[in-house]
Amino acid sequence: MNTELVRVRFAPSPTGQFHIGGVRTALYNFIYARATGGVFVLRIEDTDLERSNMESEKLHMEGMKWLGMDYDEGPDKPGEFGPYRQSERLEIYKKYADELITKGKAFYCFCTDEELLEKKEKAKAGGLNPNYDGTCRNLSHDEVSKRLQKGEKAAVRFKVPIKAFTFKDRVKGEVTFPENMVGDFIILRSNGLPVYNYCCVIDDYLMKITHVIRGDDHLANTLRQLMLYEAISVSPPEFAHVSLIVGHDRQKLSKRHGATSLNWYKDETYFPEAVVNYMSLLGWSHPEEKSIFDLEELKRVFTIDRFVKSPATFDNEKFKWVNGQHLRSISCERLLDQIGNILPQNHRYFEQDDEWRKNCVELFREKVDLSKDMWPMIDRLFDASVEQSDGMNEINSWETTPVIREYLKSEMLRLDAENREFPTISDVNSWMKHLKGELKIKGKPLFMGMRAVLTGQDHGPDLKMFVCLTPVKIILSRLE
């Protein structure tokens, strides 16, 4: 039994929004660390100096904290394996590159970008492999030294061994890369900055990463990484390449499929519990086949062997439904806080007392999947207009509806004269009793007629609660 402490990492490039695919990668690594009592590391891969920025890094860090993914080590949580930004580790990458050159496993390449492009195009035109042609692979030590002393710019290339590489993936099973799939690839650019596959290997080795859980689109990178692990004489971590997230057209999820950033869903009033719940199911299945669960349950039941191989279809409607399930189960206090942040501060909602507001959100939470969709419903409580619709026209054509309207108008005038701000449940029950007993109106004409004249709509949430939350003067205006 392997008793090695599990160490996993999430290593985003801070070049934009926190993409929903990145959220899933971070989540799987975080959950695996928590499920195994391991360590979760946040590493910032910011060597793309032109595109990387601190604002994007901040978005990723804040997003993770919002979702409850409390990493153990990172740029703002220093540990013994830092620094945790790649831009602060350049000397480390140079040291290992120098060692590879000394061992004859890497070499300086003086070819310019223009020369490389010309060679590539010529190879393609001749039907040849466009891999690097080895121009600088066997330069003598003296020639390299002279050219470097003259100030010539040189990248560092890895000498690719001519052999096949096989590894066991925790999702895909045994994967084999045949020989000659790649040519000698760059590990350090001529400006001294490392390329992704190289610094990823050095960092994972030095940070003692034991498992790499990432998207299927990284599978192609694994070949170069296996070569580098072999070259520095260390065993690679275990790999788990989880299925791609695709849209309904079965193509990789992108902006053309709709919103893909965490911040968009946050602004749309999705709950962090719902994001964690739904994203965890895009490539993994609950052992009891449950659709709704929270983060704590996920920590208890998560195992790598529940990953699925087939691509996961991102379904916004399913995502919204999952959010609705969480919306109906969270505390009223949290919901009140969220609604308080959604509505404009001059809204009449804020003029009402705590009990009214609590009853308001409890009524409407049963009807929506997103908290923001309560806004127009709350607006309706203070809107005296009457909808014009086929349903309303039909109800108003019934001979019982004018009778209901006149009776309820007299009742509302009475409440208004008594300076009553809102009707009560007792009032509504009394009106129904009178309409049934004295005026002999029952069934559909009674309930739909009351709804139409009191709310100005032919459908809606629980009638009694809706009426009791509506100001008397608003109802009176509708009746008149």
385 falls within a domain: no
The pLDDT, as a whole number, for residue 255 is: 62
Amino acid at 346: N
* Most trustworthy range by pLDDT among 121-125, 127-131, 412-416: 412-416
Task: Look at the chain and report how many structural domains it folds into.
Answer: 4
335 falls within a domain: yes
Which residues span the domain enclosing 24?
1-75+243-329
Q: What is the pLDDT of residues 450-461, one digit of tens each?
A: 999 999 999 999
The pLDDT, as a whole number, for residue 406 is: 96
Confirm if 302 and 35 have CB atoms less than 8 A apart. Answer: yes
Q: What is the pLDDT of residues 20-52, one digit of tens each?
A: 999 999 999 999 999 999 999 999 999 988 888
b/e code 121-143 from CB counts within 10 Å (16+ = b):
eeeeeeeeeebbbeebeebeeee
Contacts of 238 (CB under 8 A, 6+ apart): 170, 210, 211, 212
Give me the mean pLDDT over the 181-189 stretch.
Answer: 95
Please pick, among 119, 120, 255, 464, the residue that the annotation labels catalytic. Answer: 255
DSSP 8-state symbol, 382? T
The pLDDT, as a whole number, for residue 272 is: 97
384 falls within a domain: no
Last residue of a domain, one of 303, 329, 355: 329
Backbone angles phi, psi at 158, to 5 degrees: -90, 135
Weakest mean pLDDT among 121-130, 379-388, 406-415, 467-476: 121-130
The pLDDT, as a whole number, for residue 252 is: 82
How many percent of the chain have pLDDT more than 70?
A: 98
Last residue of a domain, one of 242, 258, 293: 242
pLDDT tier for residue 59 given thresholds of 50, 70 and 90: very high
80 falls within a domain: no
The pLDDT, as a whole number, for residue 122 is: 82
The pLDDT, as a whole number, for residue 4 is: 83
Backbone angles phi, psi at 9, to 5 degrees: -140, 155
b/e code 384-412 from CB counts within 10 Å (16+ = b):
eebeeeeebeebeebebbebbbebbbebb
The pLDDT, as a whole number, for residue 134 is: 85
For residues 196, 197, 198 and 202, what is the CA-based torsion angle, rounded to 10 degrees?
Answer: 100
The pLDDT, as a whole number, for residue 115 is: 84
In this structure, the answer to whether residues 225 and 308 fall within a common structural domain is: no
* 255 in catalytic set: yes
How many percent of the chain have pLDDT more than 90?
A: 89
The pLDDT, as a whole number, for residue 257 is: 61
CA–CA dist 379, 469 (Å, integer): 12
Whether the CA torsion 262, 267, 272, 274 is positive or negative: it is negative
CA–CA dist 472, 480 (Å, integer): 12
In this structure, the answer to whether residues 223 and 150 fall within a common structural domain is: yes
In this structure, the answer to whether residues 295 and 343 fall within a common structural domain is: no
The pLDDT, as a whole number, for residue 200 is: 97
In this structure, the answer to whether residues 450 and 407 fall within a common structural domain is: yes
Residue 187: pLDDT over 70 = yes
CA–CA dist 36, 158 (Å, integer): 36
In this structure, the answer to whether residues 425 and 323 fall within a common structural domain is: no
Q: What is the pLDDT of residues 232-249, one digit of tens each?
A: 999 999 999 999 999 888
Residue 290: pLDDT over 50 = yes
Q: What is the pLDDT of residues 130-163, one digit of tens each?
A: 788 889 999 999 999 999 999 999 999 999 999 9
Residue 258: pLDDT over 80 = no
CATH code, domain carrying 298: 3.40.50.620
Residue 2: pLDDT over 70 = no
Two structure tokens written together for 396: 């108003």
In this structure, the answer to whether residues 252 and 216 fall within a common structural domain is: no
The pLDDT, as a whole number, for residue 319 is: 97
Give me the mean pLDDT over the 179-199 stretch.
Answer: 95
The pLDDT, as a whole number, for residue 251 is: 82
In this structure, the answer to whether residues 35 and 99 fall within a common structural domain is: no
pLDDT tier for residue 1 given thresholds of 50, 70 and 90: very low
In this structure, the answer to whether residues 96 and 189 fall within a common structural domain is: yes
The pLDDT, as a whole number, for residue 270 is: 97
Last residue of a domain, one of 225, 242, 259: 242
The pLDDT, as a whole number, for residue 256 is: 64
In this structure, the answer to whether residues 96 and 219 fall within a common structural domain is: yes
In this structure, the answer to whether residues 104 and 224 fall within a common structural domain is: yes
In this structure, the answer to whether residues 316 and 345 fall within a common structural domain is: no
82 falls within a domain: no
Residue 101: pLDDT over 50 = yes
192 falls within a domain: yes
344 falls within a domain: yes
In this structure, the answer to whether residues 107 and 220 fall within a common structural domain is: yes
Give me the mean pLDDT over the 150-177 stretch.
Answer: 96
Residue 103: pLDDT over 60 = yes
DSSP 8-state symbol, 5? P
81 falls within a domain: no
